[in-house]
Amino acid sequence: MNLVDTGPLVALLDKGQGKSHTDCMEASEELIGPMLTTWPCFTEAMYLLGRLRGWGGQQSLWQLWETGVLLIHEAVPAERERMKALMETYQDTPMDLADASLVAAAERLGLSRIFTLDSDFYVYRINDRESFSVVP
């Protein structure tokens, strides 16, 4: 299973993203199993796709979830506290809620591979020590 950030979700579904769309399409072919995101990332992608492509873009994102290609992780209370702590730790980056939710999910689920276009994931650490394996 691979964690997926907002950027690839938008790029996969919006051909107008040019090279990012092409790169993400190629990278997605190499992923094994479903993609896993968080509610903050799903919400952010839904908003961006709505602005870029209207209902059609949003409908495509819903379909990824409805068909099981995309799973959405439900954060437990301890993860929400961890998100707050992460945002404080990385305030100089700065870290947004979506990124914090992915780091907290990685820690809880023991995942380290993330599909993202965000270079900040080269800085973030899982459990304050392990680096992410970034795709693409």
pLDDT in tens, 3-57: 999 999 999 999 999 999 999 999 999 898 899 999 999 999 999 999 999 999 9
Q: 40-70 b/e with 16+ CB inside 10 Å = b? A: bbbebbbebbeeebeeebbeebeebeeeeeb
* CATH number of residue 54's parent domain: 3.40.50.1010
Q: What is the pTM of this model?
A: 0.95
Instruction: Tell me which residue range forms the domain holding 94.
Output: 2-135
Number of domains in the chain: 1
